[in-house]
Structure 1
């Protein structure tokens, strides 16, 4: 069927010679339907490749005669549309939401000085968005490209001719369609390699074939290529068809008002749902126009490109008020720490203006602005694009600067002014097509540049506040949020005053699951700065303030100059301050001026309702639905299937971010399974609270109930819960609201020392279910009636949910008769045997053994069904009582079931392990079943466990002594056979559980000569892993020779198994002295916990360290294989105890090193540095 469909799909391609092509041409004349003058439609390519610019005289005539120009979207509003788009912001947010580790907390305060490659980028490269907006150039093909792409050229031509530009689509809706088009359709049938080769012919790839089709105006081929290359059901519908309907409606309206020239992607024109056919269906006549390219048409493009349209300059002031300029449009800010950038794309003229600000942190490293001026000067020749036409040294507002003019190899002029302050390097740049940078507007821009000074008499507060302190000096720079805010960035403010440097950095970290110890973070944030070796920590210690602890530190740069600082933490806020001031009084004046302050809000708090999470709250930020929309696009096939699994319960959550301050709160909706119920409301809360506390390792420190509302079919209770952890004053303050079968929760961060957030507090006070949807029935309402109602309804959906939810229903004794009735008599497609057997098993949950006779009768009635028999036996054991086990024994011995599925047997006997003390009831009567291999291993393994537990004795199964001895002999022979093929211990999981079981069960008979002989022969097992398991089983009953223990000790992986036994039984003395050491046992732990082995492993040394989990001891080893020339550092971390234990062992690999070169003290020092961070979840390599 698929082959037929694909052949049908490709038919137009393979039959071009025989079929008349309907869509040939790029320029189409639209007439009729009441139009007084013809309008025109042109198919474009969204690239700057010259293939798109075979423009004819008719193209320019159509454009000249138009009253209006229509495009898919209006380029003049692209930047505004993009930066104001909630959809794009959410898409951007998703890129960092789950990428918090890309901006680790502990790197937040590193004053990162730009390096050589950074300066090269800053000088040579422009903001990537500018290329996407203005040029869409491929660096490799730019010599074969035009100055812009065709859609933008049409826009520029129209604007320069004074025509009105219209967008046929709403930007947000168009963007949604494009995203939906990218969804994967797993039912799509793709072209085969053979068909692809036939289709490509002489072309090497699809792009060149598509370009050739466009060059020839062959829209039929373009349409077919779209179908072949994107066969999924989502692509054509969302990328083309739906959008075409919207565009045709817009064209129709505009053409009735005047002459229209429309330029849209060529793929939108052909096909049944293409623009050409849709226009014809509306009554228009649409005909292809001749498009011969002439010298006249070529010159027309150059003439239009040369026109520079003037605009009214606008005042620009940077968000920290340091930079002022006049720009003919609105500048948009981008922040990519450490640098920030403002750009304006002049879409009409094809030019751009940019201001790039790069903090140097020079004073921290003992470098002044003259150093950076000299460094940049040395890099200009290599990194200014093209040819430098002039370079002058100037001043801008008293700061030294370079004025540079250059011409790129494509003939475009650019103009730079690079200004050097004591805090940053600022690169002002204008570029564009040909002489644009030399025109009047760019000249006015550079003439207007002004850098402002600041008044330092008042305490400094960021615009969003959050803290205050004195920032001395009239030179100051700040880094605020950009167009696409990222809450994981660090806010920096720096100032410079008569040679002294001052800085404060604020990082917020919202983690709603984990707290780190305050003292650790106060120190480690500074220790991390020394990682790049440019600064070293001279001193760091904790100090006590009025209500909290903070850290003081001193850093030293390579000039031995000292930098003094402090770190403070409050709630999610981390603030670091530093200064180069050497005068202690000045330092303390600076540090003592610091205080945390409440956040300030530029937006009004309003009550918002979230339609996805069905909640409402007061907030300065509006929740929206795009996160759910975007999440749906990326879901896998299983979640896109038609089956609705919401009855099982779902979890949906969002993090709401107030961008100006970077604050975050989390809102969450968790729906319960529709059949979930709890006997008491207290049981529900206990489970939920304990689940969170245990999973996250947090402590509940406050639990207050706000209200309880209840009637016969409604239950709601609200709580405020506060969680924290040891060694921190920070808290997670939450509001949980249970409403029937849904738990709504709001999560905020706080502390016990006065952190204040109106965003968090007002959200907590106002947070409520929206009231538009009530999920399920009250959680304390028994759901058995609902379950049986679903079965009785015969509704396929309800039946599906019930059949898959049997184990979710808490049945009570009163439901027993209905359970039996439905097991015996209920018949309905969709309620299969699996569901019926699960329902039968629920009788065991009633904890009433009076149902055993029913199960016994049913067992005998179902002798032809092993599935029923096994489930009944399992149910009897699940009663966890003597009568159930007795009935189990009677039934299985009378009519034992058999199956080809081996795990069914192990699953059946696994049930006994929940109440193993009752398992002896089935012995020894069940032993005859061991004659059948199906049952043998399970019955004997359970018996061996009972023997270990002292619940049975050898006399209880002596009737099977000869069989056990025989089975032991057989398994031993099998092991010998295995040894002959594999005589080295290579895998840590190499075991022989059957031989171990039989060896163990023979222990009560160890005095018998044949058992002693069997044990003696067992010592000949050559697989050390298996032998290690066997000797610890035999030894208490049969003396294992010292030579055997020492032989096993030679193999660390085997020694790992026997050492704990020898240590526990005070038998380490049987080992040679070299095997008794802690170091050797440590090596055995290390090697046992590695899948692969090294040829050589040798001990280096050990160290005692403190890690978060416990005081630890670290054993260092070196390892390599025979052919290796380098060593690998290996280490084992265990809890520091008198008796070495493998219980919490961690095995890690360190660095690879050359023993002839490496300083081992440094190698181990670096390893210890990492080891000390174990368990610190926020530490990211």
Structure 2
């Protein structure tokens, strides 16, 4: 999901997620006293039916599947089956939070759209697609293993069941038609687990690890403790190995409270319950067992008999009926029926090869995947037949296990291959792969054992696939739904949208000519390149494609005021590539035609291209609480509307951890950091479809920040220090004073020999600054998304602003805080002693501060005194 090796935050979040999913468990050689079983009957307190509490271990190892009749009896008797979190909600919940963005948020809160990009030699270079095809056939989205199996590779395959114990409990509940729920909230659990890890890292009184402990209390004994159902031993192992009371408090005990309260709420309503939570949550005075007893319930350990293999086999053979619904690709290229919503993969490591969407049928242990690999084969000179041959040659090495059957298929004019295989674990899988001129689309279904061959689900899935028909219409003008350009094409092209790149492709089978329109979007708010340099780089990039042998000709000119380059190349088969490169602000277009013989239709393709205004939707009002603004605009990125406050909370906790490591008593709430240290945060609001981007920054100064430069205020409000550079040309500047002492400055910058422009707008009030940046061109061709955003942008100021005017001296308020009888306020002021600006007028207060220093009472006495003495000379 993100690069764990390079990103300490990523490692932290990964640790948190893993701990949440794999709770501790523990002990068995020591005689059990209070907690001799994994399964507990709950009665009393007015209950008419018993309920059951079970301690799970979140793994697929066979050692946790020694399940007796009493385990199955408890589930059968219950009306509701619960786990820590409701598995039926996992896919929706996980889709809300794009953890892959955490690595790019940084301390400034940036999202994953860079605003410091440059054209490079690979932007227009077409590369071989064989590795992409191999990946498509062999890969499965990583999230499916986490959701369904939790298998740990070949060394453990022979010692694992088909799923992990929690999922097995859920599957039994579904097969026995029980209602499913959770005793925790996904979002809250994630937050608490992250906070627990941070609290452990910042705890003052960490426990020291003993290396002379009894081997019976080592973590290596956890499995044995669990297998024998000895929760006393398990609890002891956890306590002996605990390194942090702060971690245990949030990860274990506070979650115990939540679980016990949820169980109480369910069963006191008269509903009988079977609930499985991590075994570590059960024992101890603060464990779930004792908490339920204190609520008035009677909990009795249920004897743990022999494994009931007959009952397990009977339940395993039950199929859960599923209801299929039609799913449509975002670009409408395919429709297919699946038992649930297809969720787009957020794994960046795999998305560089292609796009995957998946649905996990967790009740049956099966999954459905659609993978799309952009090959651009037609524009590279490959026929569909040649791509099919390449694909066929890859199947033996890349299809898991043994291929059982391979059949040729077609769908609305597209050729394909239907493959059925059996993995080494004995699971039957089925693929259906279709080849189009510009991409390969693969539909895959997999299940446990022979699940897909014994039911109708596979037939419903594969028979429902419908691809948009392959056909050439009469030549006509084509305009994308969002506008941007119009061009004459022999039909409607396929469209591929990826980060900063969009390709429209179509093949004219009547004349064997392939066409493509490629748009690259480059966002850079600190640099504007010369048009001729950019055109040359586009030319060099395409020429570096493997199939190009030489450049025939190239020429720069203008088209309706826009700089362009026309070029021709020869490929390895002596066919011709004709290209036109166009620079339109942050958008770089390449028109490409590949043919054996020139024709009037090819000429018409190039001559018909015209840049058009972008078309957006209706204007709506949106707000962003983190950057404190509202805006009326025709487009707002969907990701910005998602419930991603959990990610921001995690990010803030990470920042707070960095501060806590330096000062254990420092209040690390976001509001306190905002008051004392100031903030600088930014986000990019990016429209993938149009390629437009708006950068919004929000900043407040630190409590004691003082800028002594007498003209800084004028520069902030009326100018821009960053832009005081001879390479920038100010095309337009407008300064306004708004009500309530709000100042604004709108500026359009450009540079010599460039048609690109940089649009900026600054809002300033009492030290709070909002800045907007976007790019356009000298002809002003940005969409209503940009124009409405800039015009309607309205900062939201707090009624009692916490920011302090940076152009007013702060020594008075600093010394008020420093000499405060409140030790917390004093320490906060002391943190900023090194950076506070003081002068000769503050000498008496400096002298007083030095006099109050005490060798006995003040830690780092010499350091503090040296700092105060250094202030005398300022």
TM over 0.5: yes
1:725 aligned to 2:751? yes
The answer for the alignment partner of 1:472 in structure 2 is 490
Separation of aligned partners in 2, 1:667 and 1:800: 34
TM-score (norm 1): 0.63
Q: 2:723 aligns with which of 693, 715, 718?
A: 693
- Structure 1 residues 357-366 or 15-24, which shifts more? 15-24
The answer for the alignment partner of 2:872 in structure 1 is 840
The answer for the alignment partner of 2:166 in structure 1 is 151
The answer for the alignment partner of 1:316 in structure 2 is 327
SS of the residue corresponding to residue 722 of structure 2 reads: helix
Separation of aligned partners in 1, 2:817 and 2:749: 40
Query: 1:599 deviation in Å?
Result: 4.4
Separation of aligned partners in 2, 1:695 and 1:247: 61
The answer for the alignment partner of 1:735 in structure 2 is 761
1:185 aligned to 2:209? no
Q: 2:527 aligns with which of 493, 510, 514?
A: 514
Change (3 A) 1:572 1:496: same
The answer for the alignment partner of 1:495 in structure 2 is 506
Contact 2:631 2:793 (8 Å CA) reproduced: yes
Q: 1:421 aligns with which of 436, 453, 456?
A: 436
1:129 aligned to 2:138? no
Contact 1:191 1:229 (8 Å CA) reproduced: no
Contact 1:156 1:348 (8 Å CA) reproduced: yes
Separation of aligned partners in 2, 1:34 and 1:479: 62
1:750 aligned to 2:763? no
Contact 2:383 2:437 (8 Å CA) reproduced: yes
SS of the residue corresponding to residue 365 of structure 1 reads: coil
Change (3 A) 1:736 1:285: same
The answer for the alignment partner of 1:524 in structure 2 is 537
Q: 2:309 aligns with which of 270, 287, 298?
A: 298
SS of the residue corresponding to residue 379 of structure 1 reads: helix
The answer for the alignment partner of 1:823 in structure 2 is 847
Contact 1:513 1:696 (8 Å CA) reproduced: no
The answer for the alignment partner of 1:970 in structure 2 is none
The answer for the alignment partner of 1:1166 in structure 2 is none
1:770 aligned to 2:796? yes
Count of residue pairs the alignment pairs up = 805
The answer for the alignment partner of 2:344 in structure 1 is 333
- In the alignment, structure 2 segments of 5+ residues that lack a partner are 1-24, 668-672
- Structure 1 residues 94-103 or 640-649, which shifts more? 94-103
Q: How does 1:95-110 map to 2 (within 5 A)?
A: 97=111, 105-106=119-120, 107-110=122-125
The answer for the alignment partner of 1:548 in structure 2 is 562
Contact 2:548 2:571 (8 Å CA) reproduced: yes
Separation of aligned partners in 2, 1:383 and 1:423: 22
The answer for the alignment partner of 2:22 in structure 1 is none
Change (3 A) 1:616 1:325: closer
Contact 1:188 1:231 (8 Å CA) reproduced: no
The answer for the alignment partner of 1:289 in structure 2 is 302
Contact 1:90 1:626 (8 Å CA) reproduced: no
1:634 aligned to 2:654? yes
Separation of aligned partners in 2, 1:412 and 1:788: 72
SS of the residue corresponding to residue 201 of structure 2 reads: coil
Separation of aligned partners in 2, 1:239 and 1:388: 46
Separation of aligned partners in 1, 2:247 and 2:687: 35
Larger-gyration structure (1/2): 1
Contact 2:27 2:225 (8 Å CA) reproduced: no
Separation of aligned partners in 1, 2:598 and 2:380: 18
Contact 1:676 1:810 (8 Å CA) reproduced: no
Query: 1:628 deviation in Å?
Result: 4.0
Contact 1:648 1:673 (8 Å CA) reproduced: yes
Contact 2:116 2:524 (8 Å CA) reproduced: no
1:564 aligned to 2:578? yes
SS of the residue corresponding to residue 390 of structure 2 reads: helix
Q: How does 1:619-1018 map to 2 (within 5 A)?
A: 620-621=636-637, 622=640, 625-626=645-646, 628-635=648-655, 638-640=658-660, 641=663, 642-643=665-666, 647-658=676-687, 663-677=692-706, 682-686=711-715, 689=719, 691-693=721-723, 698=728, 700-707=730-737, 715-772=741-798, 773-783=800-810, 785-787=812-814, 789-790=816-817, 796=823, 804=832, 808-809=836-837, 816=841, 819-820=843-844, 823=847, 827-828=851-852, 833-834=865-866, 836-842=868-874
The answer for the alignment partner of 2:133 in structure 1 is 119
The answer for the alignment partner of 1:450 in structure 2 is 466
Contact 1:340 1:479 (8 Å CA) reproduced: no
Q: 2:223 aligns with which of 178, 186, 211?
A: 211
Separation of aligned partners in 1, 2:278 and 2:451: 28
| Larger helix fraction of residues | 1
Greater RCO structure (CA 8 Å; 6+ sep)? 2
| Larger strand fraction of residues | 2
Q: 1:37 aligns with which of 35, 49, 58?
A: 49
Q: 2:261 aligns with which of 219, 244, 249?
A: 249
1:367 aligned to 2:382? yes
Change (3 A) 1:109 1:168: farther
Q: 1:275 aligns with which of 288, 292, 295?
A: 288
Change (3 A) 1:721 1:658: same
SS of the residue corresponding to residue 320 of structure 2 reads: coil
What's the CA shift string for 1:39-89, capped at 9, x where partnerless? 111122222221221111111001111101112222222222211x14647
Separation of aligned partners in 2, 1:179 and 1:554: 56
Separation of aligned partners in 1, 2:726 and 2:65: 61
Contact 2:682 2:698 (8 Å CA) reproduced: yes
Query: 1:534 deviation in Å?
Result: 4.2
Separation of aligned partners in 2, 1:171 and 1:455: 49
